[in-house]
Amino acid sequence: MTPSSAPQPAIPSDSLSAVLGQAEHVQALVDESALALSTLNSVLGQQSAQAQSQEVKQALAQSQAVEEKVQDASDKLVLVTQALEGEIKERKALDAELALVTQQEEVARYAALHDSLTGLPNRTLFNDRLEHSLAQARRHDLALAVMFLDLDGFKQVNDTYGHDVGDVVLKTIAERLKENTRNDDTVSRLGGDEFLYLLMGAADEQTVANLAQKTIHRVQLPCQLSTGNISVLTSIGISLFPRNGVTADALIKEADAAMYAAKRDRTGYAFAK
Ligand SMILES: Nc1nc2c(ncn2[C@@H]2O[C@H](COP(=O)(O)OP(=O)(O)OP(=O)(O)O)[C@@H](O)[C@H]2O)c(=O)[nH]1
């Protein structure tokens, strides 16, 4: 993911740190040369002016001029190094800001696509995966099924034990549904006590019916809570691609209607007509 709002540094701080290392190395060499020249000049300068030959006087004057230049270069290098250090500090702050923005964008993206209570994919992500799976199913002539789950009498759990206990039950059931899901499949929480299940490559009706039966069984296993064991039942409606619809909306609608029939007739699960 490329964060859009984060400022982008032109040169990474690592590269600048390498340049700073080189500048410090040059600084050390220049300082060394300045010291050597200064020592030499002071030794030469200690001879009395009369004792100095014309050549020595000239060499000394040149050498002193070079010493001044080297010292000047050393002073400038100090300024360059300081500027580089300041730049690196700024770049590091920028890097940290960039990492934070990236992390915040990831958190926001996750939150936008998942249910906050159970951590399951939400309706948006489910729709996205269903659309994608439908495209694959059309292209490769694959079967696909949508199961719509709605817990039975869940309101009673909230009313009897409180909303917090209801939340724990929802999380426990979500965990079981997730464990029951194969890699290609997706289980999502639609909201409230409703879940959607996308089954890829559902070979035949009997296989889907078996999975629905297994899911009903897993959901109704007692949830062991500190307040005692709570069991909830679920009703499941199933729609098949392409028999009951060829779009995501149609398949979910048909599965929803079948779920109501299963709830009404107390059959556990029902296929869309
Ligand atoms: N604890 C908890 N309860 C929720 C949450 N979201 C929705 N509910 C409750 O879940 C219940 C769902 O309503 P219904 O599906 O009509 O309740 P039900 O008793 O299962 O009804 P049937 O499906 O007809 O059996 C309502 O009581 C909501 O208040 C949630 O996040 N946590």
Number of domains in the chain: 2
Structural domain for 222, as ranges = 123-271
In a domain, 1, yes or no: no
Local structure of 14: helix, strand or coil: helix
- Pocket around ligand 1 at a 6 A CB cut-off: 117, 150-156, 158, 163, 166-167, 170, 192-193
Output the pLDDT for position 6. 55
Mutate to test the pocket of ligand 1, among 154, 160, 223, 232 (most ligand atoms within 8 A of CB): 154
User: Residue 146 to residues 179, 232, 268, 269: CA-CA distances in angstroms?
Assistant: 17, 21, 15, 12
Average pLDDT over residues 60-80: 87
Q: What is the pLDDT of residue 11?
A: 66
Q: Which atom of ligand 1 is nearest to the CA of 159?
A: 27
Centroid of ligand 1 to alpha carbon of 238 (angstroms): 21
On whether both 99 and 164 belong to a single domain, the answer is: no
Of 113, 134, 169, the position where a domain reaches its end is 113
Percent of the residues in the chain that have a pLDDT greater than 70, as a whole number: 94
**From CA 265, how far away is CA 270, in angstroms rounded?**
9
The answer to whether residues 148 and 255 belong to one domain is: yes
pLDDT at 208: 94
Query: Whose C-alpha lies nearest to ligand 1, atom 1?
Result: 166
Is 31 in the active site? Answer: no
Question: What is the ipTM metric for this complex?
Answer: 0.96
Q: What's residue 15's pLDDT?
A: 74
Which of the pair, 51 or 95, is modelled with greater confidence? 95
Q: Same domain for 45 and 150?
A: no
pLDDT of residue 233 exceeding 80: yes
Tens-digit pLDDT profile for residues 116-161: 999 999 999 999 999 999 999 999 999 999 999 999 999 999 999 9
In a domain, 41, yes or no: yes
Question: Among 7-11, 61-65, 205-209, 214-218, where is mean pLDDT lowest?
Answer: 7-11
Does one domain contain both 131 and 103? no
Mean pLDDT on 186-207? 92
Residue 81 lies in a domain: yes
Name which residue leads in pLDDT, 59 or 261: 261
pLDDT at position 7 is 57
Task: Tell me how far CA of residue 81 lies from CA of 75, 78, 132, 251, in angstroms.
Answer: 10, 5, 55, 67
Q: Are residues 220 and 179 in the same domain?
A: yes
pLDDT above 80: residue 189: yes
* 118 inside domain: no
Give the residue, by CA position, lying nearest to ligand 1 atom 4.
192
Residue 262 in any domain: the answer is yes
- Residues 129 and 83 placed together within one structural domain of the fold: no
Catalytic residue among 115, 185, 193, 256: 193
Is residue 2 situated within a structural domain?
A: no
Q: How far is the CA of 195 from the centre of ligand 1 (A)?
A: 12
> Could you give the CA distance from residue 7 to residue 96 in angstroms, rounded to a whole number?
11
25 by Cβ neighbours in 10 Å (0-12 / 13-18 / 19+) ranks as: exposed
Residues 142/246, Cβ–Cβ less than 8 Å? no
Closest C-alpha residue for ligand 1 atom 30: 192
Mean pLDDT for 175-185 is 88
Q: How much is the pLDDT for 1?
A: 45
Residues 103 and 233 in one domain: no
Give yes or no for residue 85 having a pLDDT over 70.
Answer: yes
Examine the domain organization and report whether 192 and 131 are in the same domain.
yes
CATH code: domain of residue 210: 3.30.70.270
Residue pointed to by tokens 């300045």: 34
- In this predicted model, which residue has the larger pLDDT, 255 or 14? 255
Angle at 96 between CA 94 and CA 97, to 5 degrees: 65
Q: Are residues 198 and 137 in the same domain?
A: yes
Tokens of 114: 């998942």
Q: Per residue in 28-67, pLDDT tens?
A: 888 888 888 788 778 777 776 777 788 878 888 888 888 8
Are 94 and 209 found together in one domain?
A: no
In this prediction, residue 53 carries a pLDDT of: 81
Residues 38, 152 within the same domain: no
Mean pLDDT of 100-124: 96
CA of 124 to the centre of ligand 1 (A): 20
Q: Please list, in sequence order, all residues whose beta carbon lies within 8 angstroms of the beta carbon of residue 34, skipping any fewer than 6 positions away.
A: 67, 70, 71, 74
Q: Give the nearest ligand 1 atom to 156 CA.
A: 19
- From the CA of 163, give the closest atom in ligand 1: 1
Among 72, 89, 113, which residue terminates a domain? Answer: 113
Per-residue pLDDT at 2: 47
Residue 29 and residue 131 in one domain: no
Is 54 inside any structural domain?
yes
Q: Does residue 6 fall inside a structural domain? A: no
Arithmetic mean of pLDDT over the chain: 89
Residue after which a domain boundary falls, among 84, 113, 142: 113
